[in-house]
């Protein structure tokens, strides 16, 4: 049974007295969400936190919403079924949107294997703020890296529905940026991302 997302009819939106332009001026940056998608082991977390640090060092305020980290708290009640993956993405997208409204540059590092869920994220966050970053490292390389030992467990049948092994990964058809970490160093990936942010 699919989860229904309900909103009470008794809630009323109140507009902030602070304009988005005031926050932009205050932080001297344009808010943006860089949505990293790719297989487990592709390099999303590594690049996300390196980019956050690089941005802070140039005076920009950024924050990483990492898949594994949000599953420790906000999304600890969710598993890896397609319904739960979708709800995981919806919640992260809503948090990214709030952080963008607060003026931050948000880096989301989530496998987000389904195109439909990524398109929901774009819709929630708004195209103006959303950039899709495909970490396109091939499966063979991710599997050799296996930084968390998950591929070998998935191959042994100990993990079901593992993306790339027993669950599909739908590659983005038109990403804003593509980074293959099997051929690009961390430094060159970060330089390319910083150019996208501007």
Which residue ranges make up the site for ligand ADP (CB under 6 A)?
38, 40-47, 109, 145, 147, 181, 184-186, 189
Give all strands of the β-sheet with 177-179 in edge-to-edge order: 62-66, 105-109, 32-37, 130-135, 177-179
The 10 Å Cβ neighbour count of residue 83 is 13
CB of 109 to ligand ADP, least distance (A): 6
- The packing angle between helices 186-197 and 44-57, to 10°, is 60
Q: Considering beta carbons, is residue 184 or 197 the nearer one to ligand ADP?
A: 184
Backbone angles phi, psi at 122, to 5 degrees: -60, -40
CA 167, CA 172: separation in Å to the nearest integer? 16
Q: Give the shortest CB-184-to-ligand ADP separation in angstroms.
A: 6
Task: Return the one option of Mg ion, ligand ADP, none that residue 185 interacts with (CB less than 5 to 8 A, by type).
Answer: ligand ADP
As measured in angstroms, the least distance from the Cβ of 148 to ligand ADP is 7
Catalytic residue among 112, 127, 185, 191: 112
Residue 182: active-site member: no
Question: Closest CB to ligand ADP among 126 and 168?
Answer: 168
Catalytic residue numbers read 112
């Amino acid at each position: 049974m699919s989860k229904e997302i309900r909103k009470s009819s008794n809630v009323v939106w109140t507009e902030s007295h602070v304009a988005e332009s005031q926050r932009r001026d205050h932080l001297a940056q344009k808010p943006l969400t860089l949505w990293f998608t790719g297989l487990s082991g592709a390099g999303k977390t590594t690049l996300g936190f390196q980019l956050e640090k690089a941005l802070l060092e140039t005076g920009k305020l950024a924050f990483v919403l990492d898949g594994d980290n949000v599953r420790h708290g906000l999304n600890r009640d969710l598993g890896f079924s397609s319904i739960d993956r979708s709800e995981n993405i919806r919640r992260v997208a809503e948090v990214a949107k709030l952080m963008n409204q607060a003026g931050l540059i948000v880096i989301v590092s989530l496998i987000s294997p389904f195109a439909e869920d990524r398109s929901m994220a774009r819709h929630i966050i708004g195209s103006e703020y959303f950039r899709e970053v495909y970490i396109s490292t091939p499966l063979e390389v991710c599997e050799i890296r296996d930084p968390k030992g998950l591929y070998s467990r998935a191959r042994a049948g100990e993990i079901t529905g593992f993306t790339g092994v027993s669950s599909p990964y739908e590659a983005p058809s038109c990403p804003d940026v593509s980074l293959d970490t099997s051929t690009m160093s961390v430094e060159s990936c970060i330089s390319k991302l910083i150019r996208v942010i501007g």
